[in-house]
Amino acid sequence: MRVFLDTNVLVSAFATRGLCADVLRHVLADHQLAASEPARDPDDQWVLASAIAGAADLLVTGDKDLLELGGRAPLPILDPRGFWNLLRGPG
């Protein structure tokens, strides 16, 4: 699966030993990572555009504005916990 990790997820993965670090390790080991160059846009449109341009299957972010797009986005948008749960499957 091609997974786009938003900058906030990547920063958290490098800064702490937690869920985001686990998500990054899993993506690097078993999936194809897509990411954008760091930039700041008040509307966060560049993040979604980068994920789409990178042909990502889904976008993982902690950004509440992006998460609120829900089903209106052209690809699934999950927070790190939602992505982790998706990887782990029902159980």
CA distance to 15, 32, 56, per residue, from 80 (Å) = 15, 16, 15
At 11-27, the pLDDT tens digits run: 899 888 899 999 999 99
pLDDT at 38 over 60: no
CA angle 60, 61, 65 (to 5 degrees): 130
Average pLDDT rounded to a whole number, residues 67-88: 90
Domains and CATH numbers, the chain: 2-88 (3.40.50)
pTM above 0.75, yes or no: no
- The reported pLDDT for the residue numbered 91 is 64
DSSP-assigned letter for residue 69: T
pLDDT at 3 over 80: yes
E strand spans, the chain: 2-5, 32-34, 58-60, 77-78
